[in-house]
Amino acid sequence: MKNAIIGKKIGMTQIFDETGKVVPVTVIEAGPCVVAQKKTVEKEGYDSVQLGFEDIAEKKLTKPEKGHFEKASVAPKKYLHEFRLDDCDALNVGDVIKADVFAEGDHVDVTGISKGKGYAGVIKRWGAQRTPTTHGGGPVHRHAGSMGSSTDPSRIFKGKIGAGHMGVEQVTVQNLDVVKVDPEMNMIVLRGAVPGPKGGIVYIKNTVKKIVEKQVQAAAPVNPQKASGRNPQKASARTR
């Protein structure tokens, strides 16, 4: 069964692994989440569960939102997100999901909204190159430059790089390792960085990547009776 949970990014820190190496990690407050709705193939055409995260005052809800939670008989939640899991039948409305749905060593995908960078030019936003700074280049060294044709097509094609609002986009980072899980503190520690600022909402689920364990090959035996075994400097010894 694939697992999923909603969390809040606390920030980054570093820990030491068993070999003494520094590992940069991101701490996430994951759950507890409650199942607010369950969709089935018979009614909606597909199986999924809707999870709610973080309590909110009832007075801050709209009437449709209030009715949605009253129908499910669950406390109002600030954030709702729908997940398509392999076995939704195992969950029912009102069930609570905590951080222990994941364990140390699991691989997960994390989705969040990236940090906003404001209005940015083509160099910062797309990594474009400056125009020449000599021979009368003028004060346009960081501009986009010419990007359209004259008569045909007489326009700029869609998708062309340009200046504009940078960031605040949905980003998914795949195949992150779960370094530590603490159900009592609702904490999940992931190796590496996740999208979004501190306090940003993230969605964690099992990775879609296929994990292949590397097999360690045994070292080739050395026969001292061979010339290559008696003299490792020979070419036959270096290439065996």
For every residue of 144-207, DSSP letters joined together read ----S-SSSS-SPPTT----EEE---EEEEEEEEEEEEETTTTEEEEES--SS-TT-EEEEEE-
Q: How far apart are CA 217 and CA 236, in angstroms?
A: 20
The alpha-helical segments, DSSP class H, found in the chain are 63-72, 122-126, 227-230, 235-238
Cα dihedral 35, 40, 46, 48, rounded to 10, equals: 10
Q: What pLDDT was estimated at residue 67?
A: 93
Q: What are the per-10-residue average pLDDT scores of the chain (240 residues)? A: 88 89 92 89 89 91 92 90 86 88 91 94 93 84 83 85 93 93 91 92 90 69 60 56
Q: What pLDDT was estimated at residue 134?
A: 85
Handedness of CA 5, 188, 11, 195 (dihedral sign): negative
Q: What pLDDT was estimated at residue 240?
A: 53
- Helix (H) or strand (E) run with residue 54 in it: strand 48-55
Amino acid at 139: P
